[in-house]
């Protein structure tokens, strides 16, 4: 029997998967990747008697691969907070899915584990821009106020590290980072014992964020007032920073939605964008509904994205934003 752990490469996915590992799920194989690599179940080859645990990827985005594995006799347990669509009724599938705006996959796992590794869930919630939920979980778990700045930084740096077109854009491959935290039941132990892991991320993050902050918003369509849009150039730093920059913008102006678009070209050389969208913090709804109107879009109500938006679709995206956030 093979045990396979599949998880998104951002803070939430890594911290959720690590909690599951600490709780006793010792995988023979891990499958992960950059944050936008959401169809991870397609990479899984497994058969009857094998066990797959999933953390922080959308069931709906992996439906075909899920049905393939269930038909082959694989037992699958799913932990997630993204839009799932219709959940298959199958004896081989167990789901722990909660799409509420104020939760994340790590908090879902934390709930299942009754807070045994709470500090990892707090770091993940900070990384997912769920600051109120992170503080509430920390308070309930007896984590000192003085520790929150370090946990917030760890979560935000882990999240920053996941953004890129490929792993070549990243500071550390997510599987590397997952292996690096393996010995530590508490992220504060990791911070103290392995300062070099965060030092490089911290330096790179500061430089990338400074470049992004120098940009001015653009107008995607007339009358778009409920959302601010920023376009970043086709560069590795843009691909790394777009998600955490979108989070910063959302916190800074909680009454508006924010879209951060990174310029690029598809395999045929046609221009387009990768999109990170954040709903208003004051009304954290609708981001996933906007992004799902486009072929490679998905996410959750508070934060969503489009892996590839052709330039020809840019105006339609602006119209969708204006309709969702008038």
The predicted-structure confidence for 4-23, as pLDDT tens digits, reads as follows 999 999 999 999 999 999 99
> What is residue 223's predicted lDDT score, i.e. its pLDDT?
66
CA distance linking residue 30 with residue 75, whole number of Å = 16
CATH class entry, domain 3-201: alpha beta
Q: What is the pLDDT of residue 197?
A: 86
SS3 283: coil
For the domain made up of 227-324, give the CATH fold.
Diaminopimelate Epimerase; Chain A, domain 1 (3.10.310)
pLDDT at residue 36 in the model: 87
User: If DSSP codes are grouped into helix, strand and coil, which group holds residue 277?
Assistant: strand
The token pair at 227 is 């959302």
What angle, rounded to 10 degrees, do the helices at 131-140 and 118-127 form? Answer: 170
Residue 87 to residue 94: CA distance in whole angstroms? 10
- Sign of the CA dihedral with 302 first, then 6, 89, and 294 last: positive
Give the pLDDT confidence score for residue 196 in this predicted structure: 87
Site of tokens 């990791």? 190
Sheet holding 271-278, edge to edge: 227-232, 257-265, 271-278, 303-310, 297-299
Supply the pLDDT for residue 305: 94
Distance CA 221, CA 285 (A): 21
pLDDT at residue 165, as a whole number: 85
Terminal-residue alpha carbon distance, the chain: 53
∠310-292-88 over CA atoms, to 5°? 135
Which pLDDT does position 304 carry in this prediction?
94
pLDDT the model gives residue 222: 67
Q: What is the DSSP letter of 280?
A: -
Domain limits of the chain? 3-201, 227-324
The first and second tokens of residue 237, run together, are 């730093």
Q: Provide CB contacts within 8 A for 91, sequence distance 6+.
A: none
C-alpha closest to that of 174 among 276, 31, 26, 307: 31
| pLDDT < 50: residue spans in the chain | none
CA 56/CA 279 separation, integer angstroms: 19
250: which 2 tokens? 């959302």
* Fold agreement (3-201, 227-324): no
What's the pLDDT score for residue 49? Answer: 95
Q: Which residue has the tokens 């990892």?
A: 120
């Amino acid at each position: 029997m093979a045990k396979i752990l599949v998880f998104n490469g951002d803070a939430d996915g890594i911290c959720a998967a690590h909690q599951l590992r600490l709780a006793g799920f010792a995988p023979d194989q891990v499958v992960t990747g950059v944050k936008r690599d959401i169809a991870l179940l397609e990479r899984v080859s497994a058969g009857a008697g094998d066990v797959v645990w999933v953390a922080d990827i959308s069931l709906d985005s992996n439906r075909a691969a899920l049905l393939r594995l269930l038909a082959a006799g694989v037992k699958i347990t799913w932990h997630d907070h993204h839009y799932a669509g219709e959940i298959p009724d199958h004896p081989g599938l167990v789901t722990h899915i909660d799409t509420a705006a104020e939760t994340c996959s790590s908090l879902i796992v934390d709930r299942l584990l009754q807070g045994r590794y709470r500090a990892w869930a707090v770091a993940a919630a900070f990384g997912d821009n769920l600051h109120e939920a992170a503080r509430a979980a920390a308070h309930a778990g007896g984590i000192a106020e003085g520790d929150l700045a370090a946990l917030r930084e760890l979560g935000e740096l882990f999240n920053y590290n996941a953004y890129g077109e490929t792993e070549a854009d990243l500071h550390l491959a997510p599987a590397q980072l997952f292996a690096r935290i393996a010995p530590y039941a508490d992220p504060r132990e990791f911070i103290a014992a392995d300062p070099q892991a965060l030092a490089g991320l911290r330096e790179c993050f500061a430089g990338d964020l400074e470049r992004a902050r120098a940009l001015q918003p653009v107008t995607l369509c007339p009358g778009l007032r409920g959302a601010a849009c920023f376009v970043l150039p086709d560069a590795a730093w843009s691909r790394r920073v777009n998600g955490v920059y979108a989070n910063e913008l959302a916190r800074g102006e909680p009454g508006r939605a924010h879209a951060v678009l990174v310029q690029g070209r598809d395999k045929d050389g046609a221009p387009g964008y990768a999109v990170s969208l954040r709903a208003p913090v004051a009304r954290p709804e609708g981001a996933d509904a906007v992004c799902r109107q486009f072929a490679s879009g998905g996410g959750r109500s508070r934060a969503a994205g489009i892996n590839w938006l052709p330039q020809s679709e840019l105006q339609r995206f602006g119209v969708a934003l204006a309709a969702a956030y008038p």
